[in-house]
Amino acid sequence: MTAIRATAPRTPLGRRFGLLMGALLLSSLGNGLCFPFTSIYISQLLGLGGRAAGGYFIAMAAASFAAALAGGPLADRGSPHRVGALGGAALAVGYALLAPAGSVALVLASGVCVGAGFGLFYASIVGIVDLAVPESGRRSAFAIRHIVNNAGIGLGSVAAGLALHGAATPVGALRWLYLANGLAALPLIAVTLGVRPRARPGHGPADHAAEPHIDAAGKGRGEEKPAEKPGAGPTYRTLLRARPMALLILAQALFAIVGFTQIEATVPLLMHDRMAVTLGWVSAVVAANSFALIALQPLLRRRLERLPETVSLAAGPVLWTGAFGCGLGAALAGEAAPAAVRYGLLLAFAVIFAAGELMYSSAFYPLLLRWSGEEAVGRASALASLAWNLGTASGPPIGLFVVANASATGSWLALALGAAAAFTVAAALHSRTTDA
């Protein structure tokens, strides 16, 4: 058994982190203005058809894949802040291009820019956040980053709904929203470059040299090592040959497939189509999940800091299994059950699922940072981004297939089994690292 850690004193995260999160909130809010409507906007409102909409997402996925692979070494070779700012600029251009779009060529160009922006930004953001906070504040910082991203998207979606409600010309309103989304990325560029530290007291390469990285054989090593040239660290292949790192990247993909995409895409459809839950209650359950993230973070912070990261990571899918169990209970209760029981179980699902999200977000990136080492954090972040993209691309079709071919109880049970499968990978990761 791994010993429980003593509670660390609360670490102020600092002004730079606050500025970074403020800019990220604004950028996420801009994304929330648009992302639910992109396929409708391109195919129907612009009249370009489903092929153009599909081409946009294919171009975005391909560009994101290529940019992440290129951005990882670039972030390791120089400053991740430059790579992040370049990604933010590509996002601003990409979303702004959709505002005047009227041709397939412009739509595809927008998809390439947006994909490249996401690939570069997510290959660098882990290093940027890490350099903005003290090492003891990593876990809280990444949990807060997860909350900020979700809160921004939620607020943006609400704002978009209000803007589009009753709009005489939806295409005109959406053009302005895409322009606003592009403009919302500009502060992120400025802040990303502005918070770049000249020197990091107490957290330079010499400090990382004594940390327990994971070598190619998957074992810890804590000896000091001579300084290496920037960008001369492990390659993608070397990182993936380390069993703990490979399991961590696999866990990232699985968490996206069985967890995050299911609450975003599958669960709302499951509640509405299979359980006759009204759209108002579907919105309430989704909103409860977002508000629970914000409310639970300060309540769980001290408890999370007592747990080893691998334990916290494994606890995430355990909580998700319990959350899906609450949904199963609501399905079994049926429409004949008292509303307080049925909807209470669905709200419990939302809150417990949020607790699992916090377990994940407080553990995954600190583990990624420690095991990659400072010299390869960009490459490791790129691998995590690619795993996430794979999960978000495959998760919704899998979940929607389950809902289309199973009953409500069968669908909730399948979701719970998926979360249990993710737990087995996280548990293997914990076992591997404690036995090494």
Structure confidence at residue 11 (pLDDT): 57
More confident of the two residues 354 and 165: 354
pLDDT tens sequence across 266-288: 888 899 888 988 877 887 887 78
Residue type present at position 154: G
Distance CA 8, CA 6 (A): 6
Structure confidence at residue 421 (pLDDT): 94
Please give the span between the terminal C-alpha atoms of the chain, in angstroms, as a whole number: 13
Whether 70 shows a pLDDT value over 60: the answer reads yes
Question: Residue 414 is encoded by which pair of tokens?
Answer: 């399948």
DSSP letter, residue 259: I
Contact 360, 419 (CB under 8 A): no
Structure confidence at residue 167 (pLDDT): 64
Residue of 403, 415, 389, 322 whose CA lies nearest to 64: 389
pLDDT tens sequence across 334-387: 888 898 999 999 999 999 999 999 999 888 988 888 888 777 888 888 898 889
For the entire predicted model, the pTM comes to 0.74
Long-range contacts of 216-222 (CB under 8 A, 24+ apart): 216/241, 216/242, 217/242, 218/242, 218/243, 218/244, 218/245, 218/432, 218/436, 219/436, 220/433, 220/436
pLDDT tens sequence across 189-228: 998 888 776 554 444 433 333 334 444 334 444 333 444 4
Contact 359, 135 (CB under 8 A): no
Whether 120 shows a pLDDT value over 70: the answer reads yes
Q: What is the dihedral of CA 236, 241, 243, 249, to 10 degrees?
A: 30
Structure confidence at residue 1 (pLDDT): 33
Please state the φ and ψ torsions of residue 109, each to the nearest 5 degrees: -60, -40
